[in-house]
Structure 1
Amino acid sequence: MSRDATPDPYADPLVFGQRLQILRVRRGMTRDQLGGLLGRSGSWVKSIETGRLKTPRLEVILRIAELLRVRELSELTGDQSVRVELFDGPGHPRLAAVKAAVDAFPPSARHEAPPPAHLRARLAHAWAARHSAPHHREVIGALLPDLIRDAQLAVRQADGAPHRRAAQAVLAEVYSLCQFFVAYQPDPALLWRVAERGLVAAQESEDPHAIGVAAWLAAQAHRDAGLAHFDAADAVNLETLAFLEPLLPDAPDDVTAIAGALTFEAGYTAARRGETGTAWRYWDRARVMADQLPVDYYHPVTSFSRAIMGAHAVTVAVELRQGGESVRQAAAADAVMIPSRPRRARHRIEEARGYHLDGQPDAALATLNRAHEAAPETIRYNGYAKRIVLEEAEAKSPARRRRASELAVKLGLLAA
């Protein structure tokens, strides 16, 4: 290896501090930025990285893992004996079939593509199944391969520009559904392939709603790639909002909803940066847009609605590390039922993060159990939930350790 090459953080005998420095740099985060997010100084981070301070406690290691979005805890600790996935979940059994459908590009078609109305009906069924099934990845993983192939075929066989644009809009939404399936699985290249193809199909469709949904998902992919990609997330988000804004006075509900979802996402990214005023300002704007929708409206892709704004407030407070505010927002939001099982589970996880920040670990574990009841596959792929469970499995309280360990077994973090 040349002197200029980046060291491999997975190669022994690197110690914790060296791994921390490599992974931090790869995420585009300075020592001051990481220290600030940990409630420490940049010099403290430097002391850990250079070995002047010993390896921190487990709760600090787990918080660092969360901030750096490491795939497995062993990437940070170097201990290969305990393989704990964090922000990459376990590979789903149906991942290979979905990947094969995404990657396939047959030069000729052996059968006629289904009519667009038929594809739309199947897509609507798939979204409904995703929202209602506790094991939603299993359900949509079974539906996606044929949907992907048939939607691609519809584009290739489209007769004339209007039919091709309509087929591209369907294909873009199929890729959106696919991105929900491949997210947080151990194939980041596939995630980006799906996100980029969704953007291309949406642009070709010239459909405002399809463009908005593809941008919403692309912005999330950029943000989840780490702090160095936050500017890219904002660029996709805000450019798409600028495109949609002139359409909003006469827009149908789905376009208003995707604009509202994009507005909240801008606030979410600001909260991840620690920009309190900007984050809440975008949340306020999104709430105004939600209030323009019918009371019972619920966007099938983003879950944007009046009902979701309370959950979004919890997320903003959590990302800003405002424990007390998180708990207050959770109490206000709890009376509203979120129709989607996976989105309800995600909300419970955000509530649990708020309770944990506020020094209420027992409430956090109870709330994570409610998340598991709503959608086991959501919590199993969620790194924030795993961090709380692993930390409390080391708690001093025997009763709390037992509850956390029982949940860790359910999540596959510990053997039964």
Structure 2
Amino acid sequence: MPSDVTPDPMDHPLVFGQRMQVFRTRRGMSRTVLAGLLGKSPSWVKQVENGTLHTPGLPMILRVAEVLRVRNLGELTGDQTMPVDLFIGPGHAKLPAVRDAIDDFPFAADREAPSAAHLSARLASAWSARHSAPNHREVIGGLLPGLIRDAQLAVRQADRAPERRAAQAVLAEVYGLSQFFLAYQPDSALLWRAAERGMVAAQESEDPHAIGVAAWLTAQAHRDSGPAHFDAADAVTLKTLRHLTPLLPDASDDVRAIAGALQFEAGYTAARRGDTGSAWNRWDTARKVAKRLPADYYHPATSFSRAVMGAHAVTVAVELHAGGESVRQAAKADARTIPSRPRRARHRIEEARGYQLDGQPEAALATLDKAYEAAPETIRYNGYARRIILEETESKSQVHRRRAAELAVKIGVLAA
């Protein structure tokens, strides 16, 4: 192997520190940045990587895995008896059917496609069902295959340009819904395929709302790929905002909401970078957009609304690793105002991250219990929740260990 080739972290002889260095380098992260995110010094990172310090305990291994977005702990530790997937949940039983629909290539003569209006009504019903269901992947996993195929067919059968653009707009948003089903499942290539097809369909539609939703989802996909992709996330977000801004004075609530959601996404990425000023400035800009929306408005794809801004503030504080501020923001946010069960569960997980950052593991576990009550599938697929639970199974407190173990069994991380 040439000396300048990065070794494969699955190569058995590599020890923990070397594996950590490989993943850090692949993420485009400096030792200083990794150290800051772990609450350690750059010299500590260097000593772990060069083997001067021994492999840290499980709680720190879990934090390293979270920061570096290492999905399987076995890849980081070299111990294949530890095949815990942090950021990939269990493959859902309906995943093959959704995959087949996305990969299908319907011919225009197969059958008559439903109208764009009919598809839009079905899409709205699917979003409503997702928000009200505790096991939301089960629900939309059953609806998506038919919806995807019908939307694909509608595009192919559209004869006139206006009809084709309308069908493309619906297809783009159907691909958007599919990404909520595919996220954190063991087929990242399929997720990216849906994201890219959604963006192409949105651009073909020329519909501002469809373009905004596709950009919002694409920016998240880039950001979740690690620090090396933050610039790509910002490029998508800011370019789309420049496209939408001139349209906002006469825009619908949905278009104004997606612009607000994109403002927050820019703040979210800034928080991931550690840019406190930009993160909170973007959050405040988004909050002002939300205040101009009707009090009961709730965007189906992004959850953008007045109700979600408190939850967004918790997320910003958590991503900035500000434990005390996270707890203060959590105290101000009212989860009960969030009408979506999966989004409410996601907020509870963010609150739990804040409590753990603030040194309150008991409150973190109690909050994760609330997340499970709201939407079991959300916590089951969430890497941050899985990390907190696994970390607390190693707690010095017997009470914490027992409570964490019970949660771990519920979400399938540990066997009963």
Short-chain TM bin? over 0.9
**How far, CA to CA, are the matches of 2:336 and 2:406 in structure 1?**
29
Q: Determine the structure 2 residue equivalent to 1:58.
A: 58
Q: Determine the structure 1 residue equivalent to 2:207.
A: 207
Q: Determine the structure 1 residue equivalent to 2:195.
A: 195
Instruction: Determine whether 1:393 maps to 2:393.
Output: yes
Q: Determine the structure 2 residue equivalent to 1:154.
A: 154
Please list the CA deviations of residues 122-156 of structure 1 after superposition, one character each: whole Å capped at 9, or x if unmatched: 11111011101000001111111111111000000
**How far, CA to CA, are the matches of 2:378 and 2:150 in structure 1?**
28
Deviates more, 1:71-80 or 1:160-169: 71-80
1:120 deviates by 1.0
Q: Determine the structure 1 residue equivalent to 2:99.
A: 99
**How far, CA to CA, are the matches of 2:28 and 2:95 in structure 1?**
30
Deviates more, 1:88-97 or 1:222-231: 88-97
Q: Determine the structure 1 residue equivalent to 2:89.
A: 89
Deviates more, 1:211-220 or 1:121-130: 121-130
Letter matched to residue 409 of structure 1: V
Letter matched to residue 14 of structure 2: L
**How far, CA to CA, are the matches of 1:57 and 1:279 in structure 2?**
32
SS of 1:371's equivalent in the other structure is helix
**How far, CA to CA, are the matches of 1:58 and 1:313 in structure 2?**
30
Q: Determine the structure 1 residue equivalent to 2:29.
A: 29
1:227 deviates by 0.4
SS of 1:83's equivalent in the other structure is coil
**Does the aligned pair in 1 maintain the 2:151–2:174 contact within 8 Å?**
yes
**Does the aligned pair in 1 maintain the 2:335–2:347 contact within 8 Å?**
no
SS of 2:6's equivalent in the other structure is coil
Letter matched to residue 305 of structure 1: S
1:169 deviates by 0.2
1:313-352 to structure 2, matched below 5 A, reads 313-334=313-334, 336-352=336-352
1:138-149 to structure 2, matched below 5 A, reads 138-149=138-149
1:187 deviates by 1.1
**Does the aligned pair in 1 maintain the 2:108–2:153 contact within 8 Å?**
no
SS of 1:33's equivalent in the other structure is helix
Q: What TM-score results when the alignment is normalised by the length of structure 2?
A: 0.98
1:43 deviates by 2.4
1:106 deviates by 3.5
**How far, CA to CA, are the matches of 2:92 and 2:340 in structure 1?**
21
SS of 1:317's equivalent in the other structure is helix
**Does the aligned pair in 2 maintain the 1:151–1:167 contact within 8 Å?**
yes
Please list the CA deviations of residues 56-92 of structure 1 after superposition, one character each: whole Å capped at 9, or x if unmatched: 1222111111111111111111111122111111111
Q: Determine the structure 1 residue equivalent to 2:247.
A: 247
Deviates more, 1:357-366 or 1:330-339: 330-339
SS of 2:394's equivalent in the other structure is coil
Identity %: 75
**Does the aligned pair in 1 maintain the 2:297–2:305 contact within 8 Å?**
yes
**How far, CA to CA, are the matches of 2:325 and 2:130 in structure 1?**
31
**Does the aligned pair in 2 maintain the 1:172–1:199 contact within 8 Å?**
yes
Q: Determine the structure 2 residue equivalent to 1:298.
A: 298
Q: Determine the structure 1 residue equivalent to 2:110.
A: 110
Deviates more, 1:307-316 or 1:10-19: 10-19
Letter matched to residue 250 of structure 1: D
Instruction: Determine whether 1:174 maps to 2:174.
Output: yes
Distance of aligned partners of 1:153 and 1:310 in 2 relative to their CA distance in 1, 3 Å threshold: same
SS of 2:337's equivalent in the other structure is coil
1:108 deviates by 4.6
1:41 deviates by 2.5
Root-mean-square deviation (Å): 1.1
**How far, CA to CA, are the matches of 1:142 and 1:348 in structure 2?**
26
Q: Determine the structure 2 residue equivalent to 1:353.
A: 353
SS of 1:85's equivalent in the other structure is coil
Deviates more, 1:11-20 or 1:251-260: 11-20
1:4 deviates by 4.1
Q: Determine the structure 1 residue equivalent to 2:311.
A: 311
**How far, CA to CA, are the matches of 1:142 and 1:25 in structure 2?**
40
Letter matched to residue 51 of structure 1: G
1:2 deviates by 4.6
**How far, CA to CA, are the matches of 2:378 and 2:13 in structure 1?**
35
Deviates more, 1:30-39 or 1:124-133: 30-39
**How far, CA to CA, are the matches of 1:40 and 1:396 in structure 2?**
21
Letter matched to residue 145 of structure 2: P
Q: Determine the structure 1 residue equivalent to 2:411.
A: 411
1:353 deviates by 0.5
**Does the aligned pair in 2 maintain the 1:109–1:153 contact within 8 Å?**
no
**Does the aligned pair in 1 maintain the 2:106–2:153 contact within 8 Å?**
no
**Does the aligned pair in 2 maintain the 1:248–1:256 contact within 8 Å?**
yes
1:218-229 to structure 2, matched below 5 A, reads 218-229=218-229
1:58-77 to structure 2, matched below 5 A, reads 58-77=58-77
**How far, CA to CA, are the matches of 2:55 and 2:63 in structure 1?**
13
**Does the aligned pair in 1 maintain the 2:108–2:157 contact within 8 Å?**
no
Please list the CA deviations of residues 2-41 of structure 1 after superposition, one character each: whole Å capped at 9, or x if unmatched: 5443322112121101111111111111111111211222
Distance of aligned partners of 1:218 and 1:310 in 2 relative to their CA distance in 1, 3 Å threshold: same
Letter matched to residue 171 of structure 1: L
Q: Determine the structure 1 residue equivalent to 2:163.
A: 163
**Does the aligned pair in 1 maintain the 2:108–2:156 contact within 8 Å?**
no
Structure 2's unaligned 5+ residue stretches are none
